[in-house]
A and B are shown apart, each in its own frame.
Chain A
Amino acid sequence: MLLLAAGLPAAGALAVWGLRRKPYAHWIGAGAAALAFAAVAVLPVGRGSGAWFAAGGELTGGWWHQFAIEWAPSLHLEFSLAVDGVSWTLALLTALLGVLCCIHNAVGAEQRASDLLGADRAASAPLQVRAGSFETGGPPQAPNRVLGLLGGRRASAPVQEPPATVETGGPFPAAAPVHGVPAGALGDDSESPEWQSPILTALLLAVQAASTLVFLADNLVLFFIAFEAVLLPMWAIIHRYGDPAARRRAAAKFALFTVAGSLLMATGLFVAIADTGTADLGAIIVHGGVSDDVSLLVFALLALGFAVKAPLWPLHSWLPDAHTAAPTVGSVLLAGVLLKLGTYGLIRVAGGLAPDGAAEAAPVLAVLAAAGILVAGLVCLRLPEIKRLIAYSSVGHMGFVVLAFAAGTEAGIRAALFGNLAHGLVTPLLFFLAGALKARTHTGSLGALGGLRLAAPALAGLLGFAALASLGLPGLAGFWGEAFTVYAAAERGGAWLALAAAAAFGAFLAAAYLLRMLRRVSHGPVAPAAIGIGDVSAAEAAVWAPLVAGTLLLGLVPGPLLTLFSEGLL
């Protein structure tokens, strides 16, 4: 099952890529993601007690399940997977978001195909289609095939022109009126003219596979390799499918920051391996981490690496750019999965390998985290763009997680894990909603939006729900993580009280900026951009429902999850 959980998305990615010309490629991807989700979901079946005991000279039993084969012993590399309460929840979240993103893509592609078919009957499609097939520059896509407009990719002069328009980035000017279909259907044009390509689904699945591998890896070298494997597909997603104006810069920034972080992390991991003589994550954690004299060094290197990914202020500057430029599904995965890699690494790997170093470095980490919360809150108050605002709010939320981890108490660690997971449900929902909004109105600017409450009541309602969850309303998922963080920090007393106060003030700022966003977007008179937009469609509702349900569930019954965390190996 462990193998399936990581292998299915990878196989799915290959299958989708191989069948990218087929109209059903999207659904293969969605199917692979769904199977992977099922594989992850059944992992708790038959789990052990969670207690470690010695058997045959080896500690065993702490993981629910384990799987290991030798790969390259001279590099300490073993393909070894393991799962427990901490990693399972995150793997489940990854799988869930993977499924949702794949379905989102597939539904979008279907919709677009049917729209194009309808438009073709009105004999006005050729221009639009040609643009699509050209800009992909590649295999003609499903709709084209339906239309029989293959016509040779490097056909002739007239084909040369549309792409120029598309490349420069504007949404296709004539598209919506000519087709006479609701703007929403074609809306993602403004995000990217080729967003529905099956290759995007394949890349998403690749990210999912690598991230799942990170969460399940029980070998430090494997962990590093999986961590790096996330980079290329995500870079490609931002670079190829992102917002044309900003994607290149954002993708390059993302790649360089991430690689710098992961190489520093790798150095830390190898120092730990050299010190302990093994790369078995579970064994090192159980034995209390690395020896004292390298502990601080290991923790500093690891924390620096993970802080880039998490991201922790002041290493966060890649995040808003990447989020703003990425397509909706890319943002969802970035927020829901990639940031979790950083926090998971920080909590389990950095904290587990070098507990002493973590304790020593905690004040620094905590101050940076608190500063991050405040900075993110203040910046968000002034941001004019909705996706950027949500992205920056992630910096604040991750600040809470890191602060809770730095507090180091049991309550703190649990708060960190809980806040991490809650953020992984709420922020992707926000990004889905923001993406839908941008697709409908062709703008993300808060100044140009308004009156969503009247134009699309259900969408406005969901946005309100997600915003409230994000600002930590009791009864929703966001609350517990933040409340316990403040509690954990205050519990330490002394200077930590000031940090707790700063965090609490940060939570207040979060309320302020999210309500500001709601006021601008939902209330007031209907803005011109929002006139006549469609409300939530059934397919969208189906994609978002699990996130809404999860947010409610975590908010109302946090108990079982906290129990899972307490059994985890930390």
Chain B
Amino acid sequence: MRVQAIDHAAMLPLYLAAAAAVLALFAGRFAKAAGMIGLGAAAAAAVWVGLGPDRATFAVGDWHSYVADDAAMGTAALFAALAVLVAALSGRQAGEYWFLLAASAAGGIALAGSRDLITLIVAVETLTLPLYVLVTRPGRDGAEAGTTFLIASVTSSATALMGAALLYTASGTVHLEGLRAGLDGAHAGLTAAGAALLLAGLAFKLAAAPLHAWAPLVLERAPLPVATYLASASKLGGAVAITWVVYFGLSGTASAGVVIAVLSVASIVIGNLGALVQRRTVALLAWSGIAHAGYALAPLAVIMTATGRDQAGPAASAALAYAVFFVLLEASAFAAVTAVRPDAGGMFGSDERRTPRADLKSGGPLESVLKGGAGNVGPGGRIAELTGLWKSAPLPAAVLLFSVIGLAGLPPALAGTFAKVAVLEVLASSAVWLAVVVAAGAVVGLAYYLPLARVLLVGRADPAPRRFALAVALAGLALVAVSVAPQVVLDFTALSR
């Protein structure tokens, strides 16, 4: 039996992340350090591999299951970096916490390199599985969040698997490269059904409508660092999976474009309308994140027209670029919120719960942690509680402000502006109506982002806890860096076959 040679260099980031997970499990009190160092090494390795020549391994003929090109390694590095950020934002936790986090990051890195449906779905599962445990805070609320997430996730996985099976039936292969050729003369109904099921299932990760409802609920009730991870790395996973499938596999399939267009428009409408009525910080970010998922999907929808299919490359690049800018903004926003909220951390170590002094001061018993935990406010708190953050905690407030303005897409937070420009540029050339939908969505977005920004700036507040200053500052610096030099992101998100 001939054994295939494996390009271990291409797999290096994945090995490192997996090693970090194992180390964290057994390192005892050094688990956090081991996990963070291992993931940092994985990120560095991904950058190193990405800067070198493109690599690929696990080949069947010309089709590879695992590819380490610029886009894959760039997103892999981002997965690892986001996991490091989340680790830095988590207080003291039990060893399992770091193991689960690193395992999830390893899933993300595997996802970035995957080029066949089976690897892709397994990677998505690896990314998601540890989160079932992580989202569950002790208490009834946490259990509800965990169960919701579990059920929604399992359902969507089953949906995606069914879709993958249908596509396999239609084309006879699971390799994305093979799908493109194999679907050419395939049964149209089968292809359409397969594409719809697969994409809808994967859209769950991105929290795109119609499988969006879990996101606000789970994000709000999960511990804030985990919510940060869910809103950034996990969504990046969804965006990467959909982009890979659409670009590498389905870029010749018009029906996939229609599915994406429906998902996109539905997400933009539902996300924006939902966000308009939110009064709590995390809920607002979660609902608006649904709208952003819609913007990220929008460019991929151009493959439903013939002219758009010639544009599949730029369209997929724009979608990925938008997703990258978006998760950076979202991660910074959540990091800043985590840093100023008193109830952060504490999943396995619930005895560490901080004195709810600030809460008691600000709102009396109604908003105290004890009730806040049991009621439906969640650890993120109300928007009104951020009043005057600018004065009580300038650094997190500045980062949060920058992220919020960026999410609204306005200068001087250019990261968001560039994301919007990237998407609109693709849409303007082949689907002007969708560009108008995106524009309208962004206008509605302003209606809830500006009040949030205003709340941060005006008024006075009681002193907020100041923690994780370094992590928040680094997240802010990353944002400023991509605002000044967007080409860094745009270079690795430029997709090619």
Binding site for B on A (CB under 8 A): 71-77, 137-138, 153-154, 210, 221, 224-226, 228-229, 231-232, 235, 239-240, 252, 255-256, 259-260, 263-264, 266-271, 273-275, 297, 301
Contacts and interface: CB of A to CB of B under 8 A. Distances in A.
Given A228-B411, A232-B411, A273-B425, A263 B487 contact: no
Contacts of A260: 439-440, 443
26 contacts: A74-B487, A75-B422, A77-B486, A137-B458, A153-B460, A210-B411, A225-B411, A228-B410, A229-B412, A252-B450, A259-B410, A260-B439, A263-B439, A263-B440, A264-B439, A266-B424, A267-B428, A268-B428, A269-B428, A270-B421, A270-B425, A273-B425, A273-B428, A274-B430, A297-B432, A301-B432
A90 B229 CA distance: 48
Interface in B414-428: 414, 417-418, 420-422, 424-425, 427-428
A226 B412 CA distance: 9
B418 A137 contact: no
B429 A271 contact: yes
Contact of A74 (B435, B440, B490): B490
Contacts of A266: 420-421, 424, 439
B460 A77 contact: no
Contacts of A73: 487
Contacts of A240: 458
A274 B428 contact: yes
A171 to B, nearest CB: 21
B428 A270 contact: yes
A11 B449 CA distance: 27
A268 B436 CA distance: 10
B450 A255 contact: yes
A76 B430 CA distance: 17
Contacts of A77: 418, 421, 486
B166 to A, nearest CB: 35
Nearest to B411: A229
A260 B445 CA distance: 11
Nearest to B488: A72
B494 interface: yes
Given A137-B459, A225-B414, 13 more contacts: A77-B486, A137-B458, A228-B411, A235-B450, A252-B447, A260-B443, A263-B439, A267-B427, A267-B436, A270-B427, A271-B428, A275-B429, A301-B432
A75 B439 contact: no
Closest 4 A/B residue pairs (Cβ): A274-B429, A270-B428, A263-B439, A229-B411
Nearest to B421: A75
B466 interface: no
A256 B460 contact: no
Nearest to B494: A74
A296 to B, nearest CB: 12
Nearest to B428: A270
Contacts of A72: 418, 486-487, 490
A259 B460 contact: no
Given A255-B446, A267-B435, A267-B439, A225 B429 contact: no
Contacts of A239: 454
B442 interface: yes
Nearest to B453: A232
Given A255-B450, A259-B442, A259-B446, A231 B410 contact: yes
A369 B450 CA distance: 32
Contacts of A210: 411
B321 to A, nearest CB: 8
B429 A71 contact: no
Nearest to B412: A229
A259 B494 contact: no
Nearest to B405: A232
Nearest to B454: A239
Contact of A232 (B412, B418, B429): B412
B388 interface: yes
Nearest to B321: A74
B434 to A, nearest CB: 10
Contact of B460 (A154, A226, A274, A275): A154
B460 A75 contact: no
Nearest to B392: A154
Contacts of A235: 450
A264 B442 CA distance: 11
Interface of B: 317, 388, 391, 405, 409-412, 414, 417-418, 420-422, 424-425, 427-430, 432, 435-436, 439-440, 442-443, 446-447, 450, 454, 458-460, 486-487, 490-491, 494
B404 to A, nearest CB: 11
A75 B439 CA distance: 18
A270 B412 contact: no
Contacts of B458: 137, 240
A77 B424 CA distance: 13
B424 A270 contact: yes
Contacts of B460: 137, 153-154
A71 B487 contact: yes
A144 to B, nearest CB: 16
Given A267-B424, A297-B432, A256 B446 contact: yes
A111 B486 CA distance: 46
A137 B391 contact: yes
Given A137-B388, A225-B417, A259 B428 contact: no
B425 A76 contact: yes
Nearest to B388: A137
Contacts of B430: 274
Contacts of A74: 317, 487, 490-491, 494
B432 A75 contact: no
Contacts of A297: 432
Contacts of B427: 267, 270
A264 B421 contact: no
A271 B410 CA distance: 21
Contacts of A275: 429
B397 to A, nearest CB: 13
A75 B428 contact: no
A271 B432 CA distance: 8
B381 to A, nearest CB: 21
A170 B51 CA distance: 63
Given A72-B487, A228-B417, A259 B443 contact: yes
A268 B428 CA distance: 7
Contacts of A226: 411
Nearest to A274: B429
Nearest to A73: B487
Nearest to A236: B457
Contacts of A232: 405, 410-412
A264 B436 CA distance: 7
A260 B432 CA distance: 15
Contacts of B432: 267, 271, 297, 301
Contacts of A71: 486-487
Nearest to A260: B443
A75 B490 contact: yes
Contacts of A138: 391
Contacts of B439: 260, 263-264, 266-267
A138 B388 CA distance: 10
B479 to A, nearest CB: 16
A419 B446 CA distance: 33
B392 to A, nearest CB: 10
A237 to B, nearest CB: 13
Contacts of B418: 72, 75, 77
Nearest to B486: A72
